[in-house]
Amino acid sequence: MGIRKLLISGFIQATGKYPEHTALKVDGADYSYGALARLAAEISASIKAGESQVYPLVALLAHRSISAYAGALGILMAGKGYVPLNPNFPTERNFNMLSLSGCRIVVAGKECLDMLKTLLPKLAVPFAFIFPDTRELDELRNQYPNHLFIGADDVAAIEGRVSMPDNGQESIAYLLFTSGSTGVPKGVCVSNQNARAYVDYTCARYGCDHRDRFSQAFDMTFDLSVHDLFVCWEHGGCLCVIPESTTMAPAKFIKDNKLTMWFSVPSVAMFMSRMRMLKAGSFPSLRFSLFCGEPLPATLAQQWQDAAPNSVVENLYGPTEATIAITNYRWNNSESPAVCRNGIVPIGRAFEGQRTCVVDQALRVLPAGQTGELCLGGSQVTGGYLNDPEKTTQAFVRIPQMGDGIWYLTGDLALEDENGYLHYLGRIDNQVKIRGYRVELQEIDAALRKASGSEMAVCVAWPLAGGSAEGVVAFICGANVKNERPIIDYCKGLLPPYMIPTRVEFINDMPLNVNGKIDRLALLNMLKKENG
Partner 1 sequence: MSVSETDIKNHVVKYLMEKLESSGMDRYEIEEGIDLVGSGLISSLGFIELLASVEKQFDIEIDFEDRDTSEFTTFTGFVKLAADTARAKNG
Interacting residues toward partner 1 by CB under 8 A: 243-253, 255, 271, 274-277, 279, 282, 463, 470-471, 483-485, 488, 497, 502-503
Q: Which amino acid does the sequence have at 61?
A: L
User: Checking DSSP bridges between strand 472-477 and strand 503-507, what pairing results, if any?
Assistant: parallel
CB of 454: closest distance to partner 1 in angstroms? 19
CA 109, 319, 439, 336 torsion: positive or negative? positive
Closer to partner 1 by Cβ: residue 394 or 502: 502
SS (H, E, C) 291-358: ECCCCCEHHHHHHHHHHCCCCEEEEEECCHHHCCCCEEEECCCCCHHHHCECCECCCEEECCCCEEEE
The CA distance from 103 to 143, in Å, is 21
CB of 151: closest distance to partner 1 in angstroms? 29
The CA distance from 185 to 388, in Å, is 11
Closer to partner 1 by Cβ: residue 353 or 486: 486
Smallest Cα–Cα separation from 344: which of 466, 508, 187? 466
DSSP-assigned states of every residue in 89-128? S-HHHHHHHHHHHT--EEEE-GGGHHHHHHHGGG--S--E
Closer to partner 1 by Cβ: residue 13 or 88: 88
Closer to partner 1 by Cβ: residue 128 or 487: 487
The CA distance from 221 to 72, in Å, is 12
Closer to partner 1 by Cβ: residue 161 or 252: 252
Closer to partner 1 by Cβ: residue 211 or 528: 528
CB of 473: closest distance to partner 1 in angstroms? 12
CB of 511: closest distance to partner 1 in angstroms? 22
CB of 402: closest distance to partner 1 in angstroms? 41
CB of 378: closest distance to partner 1 in angstroms? 36
DSSP for residue 254: H
Q: Which amino acid does the sequence have at 134?
A: T
- Please name the residues in contact with 267: beta carbons below 8 A apart, sequence gap of 6 or more: 294, 435, 436, 468, 470
CB of 492: closest distance to partner 1 in angstroms? 8
For the chain, how far is it from start to end, CA to CA, in angstroms?
Answer: 64
Smallest Cα–Cα separation from 322: which of 407, 241, 259, 392? 407
3-state SS, residue 518: strand
CB of 276: closest distance to partner 1 in angstroms? 6
Closer to partner 1 by Cβ: residue 181 or 282: 282
User: Checking DSSP bridges between strand 57-61 and strand 105-108, what pairing results, if any?
Assistant: parallel
Contact 353, 324 (CB under 8 A): no
Closer to partner 1 by Cβ: residue 140 or 254: 254
CB of 148: closest distance to partner 1 in angstroms? 34
DSSP for residue 246: G
CB of 471: closest distance to partner 1 in angstroms? 6
**Maximum separation of any 2 CA atoms in the chain, in Å:** 68
3-state SS, residue 396: strand
CB of 246: closest distance to partner 1 in angstroms? 4
DSSP-assigned states of every residue in 459-501? EEE-SEETTEES-EEEEEES-S---HHHHHHHHHTTS-GGGS-
CB of 7: closest distance to partner 1 in angstroms? 31
CB of 496: closest distance to partner 1 in angstroms? 13
Closer to partner 1 by Cβ: residue 485 or 517: 485
The CA distance from 128 to 382, in Å, is 29
Closer to partner 1 by Cβ: residue 113 or 488: 488
Contact 35, 70 (CB under 8 A): no
Closer to partner 1 by Cβ: residue 92 or 470: 470
Closer to partner 1 by Cβ: residue 47 or 268: 268
Closer to partner 1 by Cβ: residue 282 or 285: 282
CA 29, 32, 33, 34 torsion: positive or negative? negative
The CA distance from 25 to 31, in Å, is 6
